[in-house]
Chains A and B, each alone.
Chain A
Amino acid sequence: MSTLINDLALGLSVAASVGGLLYCFLGVFLGTVIGVLPGIGIMATLAMLMPITYHIDPNYALIMLGGIYYGASYGGSTASILMNLPGTATSAVTGLDGYPMAQQGRAGQALFMTAIASFVGSLFGVLLLVTLSVPLSRVALKFGPQEYVALMALGLIAASVIGSGRTVRSLASVSLGLALGLIGLDLNSGVARFTFGQTVLFDGLPLVAVAIGLFGLPEIIANAGRTTTPKVNQDKIRLRDMLPTRSDWRRSGMPMVRGSGIGAFFGALPGTGGLVATFVSYAVEARCSRHPEEFGKGAIEGVVAPEAANNAAVQAAFIPTLSLGIPGDPVMAIMLGVMMVHGILPGPDVIQTSPDLFWGLIVSFVIGNLMLLVLNLPLVGLWVRMLRIPYTLLFPVIVALTCIGIYSVNYQVTDVFVLLAFGFLGLGMKALRFEVAPLLLGFVLGPMIEEYFRRALIVSGGDMMSFLDRPIAGTITVITGALLVWALANAAWKQLRPRNRRSSNA
């Protein structure tokens, strides 16, 4: 217990320092801004801010990047409720009931309760992070290569199987991602693979350019040509009008708790995250509500539960990232990338070797969430007004900042071309309805999983059974296998069903 207090005190000394507070505020502020504005995603923002993070202390860099991540998930619900135009993908579900509430003149209450729900969800996620990370990293220190391979495989399979309707295509995305990750010099033999004689490719494809290309560019392209501006509710929203009724509070309590639990579970699982969590928690609430007929027409439960789930998932996503060094989603992959730039090797010993980084980040989450409460409740009018900035003036600036950000990572012009190429790959995949998130996860984990896979087979003398013999690796492998078989059987079953269901999933 006393160590925990010492650790938290260390964290407080980092997070509550002038720099810590400054970058934490900068992060949550920018996060809220991009979360509120539809059409600018977290990935594009991270690209724009890359140059800053290379110049500051890694502790502060991670605090700021973390702040952007959870700040965006707070802000995302604002546009979703007011205009039915989700600022981030994960807040789409919030709009299902939030927008009807706004149409009934209860936008203030919806915004107020989402802020509270976000806060509750976040704190729950942070609590889980504190309690799980240290023991988990201690277990992970005993992991051999088999365990790492099994865990990463679980993450990859889970990412493609859960929450996507097209398992087979997602598995193909993962495979392509893994293969793209192999580009460059092979660490064991020094052979250049898939480089086609290009020396710039020897270090592999640049992670940031790949990620921003896949996620950010299609987003900008989809919105750039838009000529109609979305209508914003012109009513002034004052704090006084926002106070929820007693029945709002009473009806929100349990959904928040359930949402937090669901969110934390999916967030901690590598490969799944906020998006899945919001859908699941909405479905759960609709099922166990006493007024299921109100869902879709402005039920407060349908607003707070997904919101709590989303924010709990965001915080819980840090668990595998910080304690195992395995990123669960694209944003976490970027965070790990920043750590590596600063010479910190992600993995189970980060908590021991850089306690200031780990605990500073955790304490900053609490501080950041408090800041967000202030930013989102009294200042909500400011965000609503910001929604009137025309996107036509905004996106060219985003393009320029993205260029600068990507270029400044390595000062290599080819990185900008890589960004563009992956932007078109992302568009093409979207057109054929392939998921891009599994590809990026595969890309990040590709080199690691190959390395551990080879090492595991060297250690075991080429015996594949060693993945099943060892208790931890065996358990994870069996779970992964079951998940895979279930998903493929499911896909095959859909095929065998009579044709009259053909229009249902078109």
Chain B
Amino acid sequence: MRYVLERLEDYIAGLVTGAIGTFIIIEGLSYRMGSLHSMGPGYFPVILGGIMVLLALFMVLSAQPEKMAQIGPEDGQLRGMAFLAAAFVGFALTVENLGMLASVAIAVFLASLANRKTSLITALILAVGTAVVSALVFRVGLGLQIKAF
């Protein structure tokens, strides 16, 4: 068991690579293969998937005991990740319905909360300010095809 745990990083890397490679092969085989002389759409993906499976085998067989890289997020990163993701999703969901002013404000507001030291007031001021300036620059100045509101 210790043997496996010491080499866990290489094993995970190998398994992930192998799984993706296998998936590419299976999906690739559903397209026409063709021959070397005249390749179908499936030929190249299957080669790539095959290479990945070989590399995965190499990784697993040559696994070396090693300290794991820190896989868990560092202090404060989980919060950062969640709020940043929310900011991008928030922008994407609102930009076409509510327009640029609102969606930029939402994105900035959510993103600034990714840092726990930023207060709500600061986030709000920054959000409104950025929204107004970017609407002026991109909508009025550059004429981007995004409606302001």
A residues touching B (Cβ–Cβ < 8 Å)?
A: 51-52, 55, 168-169, 171-172, 175-176, 178-179, 182, 186, 188-189, 191, 193-194, 217, 220-222, 224-227, 392-393, 395-397, 399-401, 403-404, 407-408, 411, 413, 416-417, 419-420, 423-424, 427, 431-434, 450, 453-454, 457-458, 461-462, 464, 491-492, 494-495, 499, 502, 506
7 nearest CB pairs, A to B:
A225-B76, A462-B37, A225-B80, A396-B111, A396-B112, A416-B92, A224-B80
Q: How far is the CB of B72 from chain A (nearest CB, A)?
A: 9
Interface residues of B in 1-31 (CB under 8 A from A): 9, 12-13, 16-17, 20-21, 24, 27-28, 31
Distance of A194 Cα from B104 Cα, bound (Å): 33
Q: Tell me if B98 counts as interface (CB < 8 A to partner A).
A: no
Interface residues of B in 53-92 (CB under 8 A from A): 55-56, 58-59, 62, 64-67, 69-71, 74-77, 79-81, 83-85, 87-89, 91-92
Let me know if A178 and B62 touch, CB within 8 A: no
A403: chain B residues within 8 A (beta carbon): 87-88, 91-92, 95, 103-104, 107
Contacts known (A193-B31, A400-B107); A172 close to B56, Cβ less than 8 A:
yes
Closest B residue by C-beta to A407: B95
Distance of A225 Cα from B117 Cα, bound (Å): 9
Let me know if B76 and A461 touch, CB within 8 A: no
Let me know if B104 and A227 touch, CB within 8 A: no
Interface residues of B in 101-138 (CB under 8 A from A): 103-104, 107-109, 111-112, 114-118, 122-123, 126-127, 130-131, 134, 138
B residues touching A (Cβ–Cβ < 8 Å)?
A: 9, 12-13, 16-17, 20-21, 24, 27-28, 31-32, 35-41, 43-45, 48-49, 51-52, 55-56, 58-59, 62, 64-67, 69-71, 74-77, 79-81, 83-85, 87-89, 91-93, 95-96, 100, 103-104, 107-109, 111-112, 114-118, 122-123, 126-127, 130-131, 134, 138, 142-146
Find B88's partner among A171, A419, A491, A506 (CB 8 Å cutoff).
A419
Distance of A491 Cα from B62 Cα, bound (Å): 9
Let me know if B130 and A400 touch, CB within 8 A: yes
A499: chain B residues within 8 A (beta carbon): 65
B122: chain A residues within 8 A (beta carbon): 393
Distance of A224 Cα from B87 Cα, bound (Å): 13
Closest A residue by C-beta to B129: A397
A52: chain B residues within 8 A (beta carbon): 142
Find B52's partner among A172, A392, A433 (CB 8 Å cutoff).
A172
Contacts known (A400-B104, A506-B67); A168 close to B58, Cβ less than 8 A:
yes
Distance of A458 Cα from B132 Cα, bound (Å): 57
B71: chain A residues within 8 A (beta carbon): 431-432
Q: How far is the CB of A50 from chain B (nearest CB, A)?
A: 11
A495: chain B residues within 8 A (beta carbon): 62, 64
B37: chain A residues within 8 A (beta carbon): 457-458, 461-462
Q: How far is the CB of B66 from chain A (nearest CB, A)?
A: 5
Let me know if A454 and B75 touch, CB within 8 A: no
B123: chain A residues within 8 A (beta carbon): 396
Contacts known (A413-B92, A420-B89); A407 close to B146, Cβ less than 8 A:
yes
Distance of A224 Cα from B110 Cα, bound (Å): 12
Q: How far is the CB of B7 from chain A (nearest CB, A)?
A: 11
Closest A residue by C-beta to B106: A400
A491: chain B residues within 8 A (beta carbon): 58, 62
